[in-house]
Structure 1
Amino acid sequence: MKSIILNCILACIILLGSCKENIAYKEKLQDPELFQSSMKKLTDVIVYDIFSPPVASRVYMYPTIASYSIMQKAHPEKYNSLQGQINDFTDIPDPTDEDVDMNLAAIHAFLTIGKELIFSENRIEEFQNKIYSDLQETGLPENILEASTRYGDEVAKHILAWANTDMYKQTRTYPKYTILEEPQYWKPTPPDYMDGIEPSWNKIRTLVLDSAGQFPPKPPLPYDLTEGSPFHKQLMQVYEEGTGIDANKKDIASFWDCNPYVSHHQGHAMFATKKISPGGHWIGITAIASRKANSNFDETINAYTNVTTALYDGFISCWDEKWRSLLVRPETVINEHIDEQWVPLLQTPPFPEYTSGHSVISRSAAITLTRLYGDNFAFADTTELEYGLPVRSFKSFLHASEEAAISRLYGGIHYIMAIEEGIKQGEKVGLHISKNLVTLKK
């Protein structure tokens, strides 16, 4: 009799232990930090591989769309399909295996597509393997892992097939920008005199915008160095800001620099500093906001889906204008006509001046985040801490976007017209996306 009782007790202990393990892996798969860490890993690899700002927005977008599409299948009562809302998008296949865990499938699809879009695949591969190993240690059954990753692969294949029709691969073979000699046109800037980045980016398929040129800003002021002309006044504003800049403005400019590749020259030696792109900074703000709002797993993915869409279409809209107006950077004009020794606080990026990319994409992303989290969502922006910069606090997403925009004047790399018109352009892009991309069901 005693042995029967002991056996029963032992069986109960084993059963309870098994239940705890099952609960452990299920809880881990419900934790939004699983997706947050995956997005952070993608950001780290984007920084490591030095993707330009527009290309980085593409790397963020496709994996996130895949994860959202899986969440939409998991919660059809909560989320709308992207079919009919995003250009040329068709719904992903339904899962056919009852063992599929949709959260795990979303992570797998995200990382699988991420690997396809970057160079350092091994860095994501190692991260991916570590996630699955940790889940197995907490009790994830092999059949669920296999079914979920298999479905994630199926979704990744579907999304990558769609990605292959966006003109990205074709534009890799297009000719570089040919420099125009007239003084009003953009020229490569020191210290590296790099070729212009992505002069054909307006050929890339948009997501929600009808076309790259749907929201063109008004043309820039005519190039005119006559003292007192509107253009000359804006040029001198950049020069004077850069010459007598105070500590606070320096801090603002540095915080929003977000230059993926800053070169440093010492004699004959050169080294580079890698940092997040402008879009990467707003990805960081999305992480902060979704955590502060206690967004769950699928809500976190929904937030990133809206923001990555705003960033992606924002860059296409901005780059369409940059390579149409081809306006010369302030540094070039100041060095040639005013002060050959003048150097802007920030390194001038290698593409035309008008409009300001920071202004466009920051406004577009801020409008998207405001729609999700509200007008007065105060937050402490810790995104730049890992790059040695202090925390800055903002009253709202729009407040942050305004500071991001004006930082380009303080940094000496944009005329005020590029900033002001960039904000207007980003506003139009953001409002259009907010109206026409409806992910949440009412």
Structure 2
Amino acid sequence: MSTYTRQIGLIAICFGWYLASATSPKPSATRILSDASVATRWADLTIQVVTKAPQNTPTYCSRALGYLGLTMYETVVYSSATHQSVIRSVVDTLALPKPNLSKDYCWELALNAGQAFMLKSMYAYTRRAPLIDSLAGVIHEQYAASLPPDVVARSEQFGQAVAARIYAWSVSDGGHQGCDRNFPTTYNRPTGTGLWVPPIIGQSNTKIPMHPDWGNNRTFSRRNSLLPLPKPLTYSTDSSSAYYRQYKEVYTCHNTLTESERSMVMWWGDDPTQTCTPPGHSYNLATIAIRNGKADLVKATETYARVGMAVADAFVCCWKTKFHYMVERPSSFIQANLHLNQLTGKWLPFFLEPPFPSFYSGHAVQSAATAAVLTALYGKSFSFTDDTHANRPPTDYYVLRSLTENPYYPTYNQRFVTYEARHYTSFWEAAKECAYSRLLGGIHTRHDNEVGLAEGTKIGHNINAFRWKR
């Protein structure tokens, strides 16, 4: 047994008395938790850790955010007169520690302790513990200085106990330490007409797809695990077929991309080798909603819990579908059936192709799941500015310049995409733009995106259906 496992077991044993002696939970009426800054500061640090994490993938990130968000909510929910724990909506066999509300707690310190424990547990391999401990220490000093020592200790012990119990439960979901097996060498890729093949040039050099078994993982919502698989278009090289026309649309869009469209593609690209990944982007949208909507602490933690679990389930459901059908990316169909001018070489999408099958779009499904939960919390007409990549340096790309000088040696011009904050009038406007950007980027058909948006809506609604209110 590892030292870390023994530590978790010790925490669980030490808090056995806690469960036995706790009074029936009642909302704490000591004060209103109007300041959400403790939650948003932890979310900001989470994005920072995720962005710099080696072996970063959207699948592993989505899972981590699901548990981080749930932990955040469960460490403060007993302060609320209107909200309740959702752990029984998630799993009816898991009992979390409950506070003894005949005593005083500082819920900000409970959240602080829980997030520090969970973030270090999920990203221990990144060696970011000193950074995590630093934030935890700053927040501890901020609140502990004006509180009795017993309140500080009780609050932090409760937050850590909740986190330890949730982390121990997470180990059994199928994705534990998934960052260590991004590309399993034992996977045998099926072959055949219309099936996915590794990209010629892509985001990864491996010829093994990323996390082919991720669709077998446990979801947070049992309803999401029971969603039927949507169907892809039927393969056809007939120019009148829906399949052919959809892939041709990708080819046509690629040939007419404007600078504005390239900027859109790159904004939503969320390349895991350089950014916080699509789930991290969604988590940052949650932070923007919290700050713009002036949410109190309980609503802020509910926001992170809903978004985190929604994007986690979105990737499980999406990967289940991807590896059931193994639908090819546009690049292979276009190269074989549409890109007939071999002088310009292989056809490549504008955005680097990710190492997994096409149907359906992961960007679209997780964006729709996020839009569904954020709309339920903040309304249909919620204007905001997305600044997720506002400080990112420009990205270069190349466009064909000429074939006239020597048709066998085409020349190219170097250009740059810049990252400027983008404004939206609703979460759904952002989600639909994200989905559309994948078609413009050359890595998804319109059908991939439309199905992803539809499935993400269902997934988000199932997270909303948890019993959040008393």
Place the TM-score, normalised by the shorter chain, in its bin: 0.7 to 0.9
How many pairs align? 400
> What per-residue deviation string (whole Å, max 9, x for no partner) do you get for residues 141-189 of structure 1?
5444333222222112211121122122497777643223313111121
Q: In the TM superposition, what is the alpha-carbon distance from 1:223 to its structure 2 partner?
A: 2.1
Q: CA deviation at 1:275?
A: 0.6
Q: How does 1:55-74 map to 2 (within 5 A)?
A: 55-74=60-79
Change (3 A) 1:68 1:398: same
In the other structure, the counterpart of 2:382 is: 377
The reply on whether 1:412 has 2:449 as its aligned counterpart is: no
Match of 2:134 in 1: 126
Q: Which residue of 2 aligns with 1:282?
A: 282
Mapped partners of 1:211, 1:294: distance in 2: 30
Q: Which amino acid aligns with 1:317?
A: C
Instruction: Decide which of 81, 85, 97 is 1:81's aligned counterpart.
Output: 85
1: CA distance, partners of 2:372 / 2:149? 43
Quick one: which amino acid aligns to residue 200 of structure 1?
A: D
Is 1:161 the counterpart of 2:171? The answer is no
State yes or no: 1:240 paired with 2:245.
no
Q: What is the identity, as a one-letter code, of the residue corresponding to 1:431?
A: H
Rate the CA distance shift 1:212–1:233 in 2: closer, same or farther, 3 A. Answer: same
Distance in 2 between the 1:99 and 1:79 partners? 19
1:113 alignment counterpart: 118
Is residue 2:217 matched to residue 1:204?
A: yes
1:38 aligns to 2:47 (yes or no): no
- Give distance in 2, aligned partners of 1:213 and 1:333: 32
Give the residue type in structure 2 aligned to 1:154: A
Find out whether 1:187 has 2:197 as its counterpart. yes
Tell me the amino acid that sits aligned with residue 229 of structure 2. P
1:100–1:151: 8 Å Cα contact kept in structure 2? Answer: no
Amino acid at match of 1:322: K
1 CA distance for matches of 2:353 and 2:214?
Answer: 19
Q: Matches of residues 390-409 of structure 1 in structure 2 within 5 Å?
A: 390-409=420-439
Between 126-135 and 230-239, report the one with greater CA deviation: 126-135
More displaced stretch, 190-199 vs 349-358: 190-199
Q: For residue 56 of structure 1, report the CA deviation from its aligned partner.
A: 0.5
Q: Which runs of 5+ in 1 are unaligned?
A: 1-25, 262-273
Q: CA deviation at 1:212?
A: 3.2
* SS of residue matched to 2:237: coil
Cα RMSD after superposing both structures: 2.4
Which range is displaced more, 98-107 or 352-361? Answer: 98-107
* Deviation by residue 1:242-266 (Cα, 9 ceiling, x = unmatched): 12111221121111111212xxxxx
Q: Confirm or deny: 8 A CA contact 2:63 2:175 kept in the other structure.
A: no
Deviation, structure 1 residue 211: 5.1
1:214 has 2:227 as partner: yes
| Structure 2 unmatched ranges of 5 or more | 1-29, 340-344, 394-418
* Offset at residue 318 of structure 1 (A): 1.0
In 2, distance between residues paired with 1:381 and 1:72? 28
By how many angstroms is 1:36 displaced?
A: 0.4
Task: State how far apart, in whole Å, the 1-side matches of 2:226 and 2:420 are.
Answer: 37
Give a deviation string over 1:307-347, Cα, whole Å, max 9, x none.
11211111111111111110111122323444343221111
Partner Cα separation in structure 2 for residue 365 and residue 415 of structure 1: 21
Trace 1:170-185 onto structure 2 (pairs within 5 A).
176-185=186-195
CA distance in 2, matches of 1:308, 1:381: 18
Structure-2-length-normalised TM-score:
0.79
Per the alignment, in what secondary structure is the counterpart of residue 393 of structure 1? strand
1:440 is the counterpart of 2:440:
no
Q: For 1:405 and 1:164, how far apart are their aligned partners in 2?
A: 32
Residue 99 (structure 1) shift: 5.2
**Which stretch shifts more, 161-170 or 315-324?**
161-170
Aligned to 1:210, the other structure's residue is in SS state helix
Aligned mates of 2:211, 2:168 — CA distance in 1: 22
Counterpart CA distance in 1 for 2:137 and 2:91 is 33
Deviations 1:13-61 (CA, angstroms, capped at 9, x unpaired): xxxxxxxxxxxxx99x863112101111111111111421121011111
More helix by share: 1
User: Which residue of structure 2 aligns with residue 21 of structure 1?
Assistant: none
Q: How far apart in 2 are the matches of 1:423 and 1:107? A: 34
| Equivalent residues of 1:82, 1:89 under 8 A apart | no
Residue 422 (structure 1) shift: 1.1
In 2, distance between residues paired with 1:300 and 1:380? 18
Identity %: 26
In structure 2, relative to structure 1, the CA distance for the partners of 1:175 and 1:96 (3 Å cut) is farther
d(CA) in 2 for partners of 1:371, 1:215:
24
- Cα distance change, pair 89–412 in 1 and its aligned pair in 2 (3 A): farther
Superposed, 1:43-54 pairs within 5 Å as 43-50=47-54, 51-54=56-59
Partner of 1:367: 372
Do the aligned partners of 2:271 and 2:277 also contact (CA within 8 Å) in 1? yes
Length-normalised TM-score, structure 1: 0.84
State how far apart, in whole Å, the 2-side matches of 1:103 and 1:337 are.
Answer: 59
- 1:30 and 1:132 mapped to 2: Cα distance? 18
What secondary structure, in the 3-state scheme, does the structure 1 residue paired with 2:225 have?
coil
For the 8 Å contact 1:89–1:162, the answer to whether it is kept is no
Partner of 1:84, secondary structure, is: helix
| Distance apart, 1:423 and its partner CA | 1.2
Counterpart contact for 1:209–1:433, Cα < 8 Å = no
